[in-house]
Amino acid sequence: MVNSRAMKRWLILTVALSAGSVGAQEIDLPQVLDSIDWSVFGEVDHAQVQAVCRQLQATLQGDYVVDLAAVRDVAAALLPVLEAHADLQPYGAWLRTRLDYLAVAEELRVTIPPPRMELAVPPAELTPLNPSPQQEREIWVKKLELRPPYPRAETFVPRLKPIFAEEGVPTEFVWLAEVESGFDPRARSPVGAVGLYQLMPETAKGLGLSVWPRDERLDAERNARAAARYLRQLQEKFGDWRLTLAAYNAGQGRVRRLLEREGARSFDEIATKLPAETQMYVPKVEATLLRREGVALTALN
């Protein structure tokens, strides 16, 4: 029997998240999460949690990096719920690696000046500024400078580096799995990306993987080979590793259209117009390669 009071609180939570950052700030979301007796929900609770994960994913795809700060506490409170249920743990693996984005967004929120007030513009219509690519690169280097590798990296990195070499991709990109999944091959995003390198179903199938009845994206070696192959294909199209990573994260069509619309040729020229997650993803990958391999992304061939 589903507890109606708990269900009402949960529905308030999902509505608040659906309303965006303002709604999220108007309700003490961690307190709501803590107040729910999850045991009464059974399968219903799982469907609702997945819905909130999708809403968090949609927030990551928003226009402004600083907006991500508003859902930081929600995500932190949701993570133990995901990790406590075996069938939700893949979503937990996805979410854990994205908490960094929300923490950095909070740091940027207090350092980026607010938009300049103009008498003719109502405050409600002012839009926040996005950090410059250089600001992002600097903050991510600082964020990761003391961070040890995920424990699973010790197992996967030696196994997977030869695969990247065989596919003609710099072996340093094996560390993309740290950013994508925390080296957890079970990781699953709310929109269906799966595995160490978070491959979407259509992308995986285009790279020769089966997703049904057996999902080969869950196989670490197959996932890595497909990811390496995809990186090589994107690099051949864009000729620049930053643009390649942006396309890997946001989609090559989106990046191509933005380059054409802006008359641009580099990542830095379009970075602030990419989805918030992508704005942070590319410099985070750069900082990760620098931290783990001591190599700058721009030095890779």
Q: Residue 227 and residue 286: Cα distance in Å, rounded? A: 17
- The answer to whether the beta carbons of residues 34 and 248 sit under 8 Å apart is no
Using CA atoms in the order 188, 193, 197, 201, what is the torsion angle rounded to 10 degrees?
A: 130
Which member of 136, 180, 216, 277 is catalytic?
180
Q: How many CB atoms lie within 10 A of CB 91?
A: 28
Q: Is 263 left (phi over 0), alpha (psi -120 to 50) or beta?
A: left
- The answer to whether the beta carbons of residues 239 and 245 sit under 8 Å apart is no
- The answer to whether the beta carbons of residues 249 and 99 sit under 8 Å apart is no
Q: Residue 69 and residue 56: Cα distance in Å, rounded? A: 11
Q: Note if 138 is an active site residue.
A: no
DSSP SS3 for 249: helix
Residue 107 backbone dihedrals phi, psi, to 5 degrees = -60, -40
Cα distances (angstroms) measured from residue 191 to each of 94, 105, 200, 271, 282: 11, 22, 8, 23, 20
- Whether the link from the prior residue into 213 is cis, omega within 30° of 0, is yes
Which positions are catalytic? 180
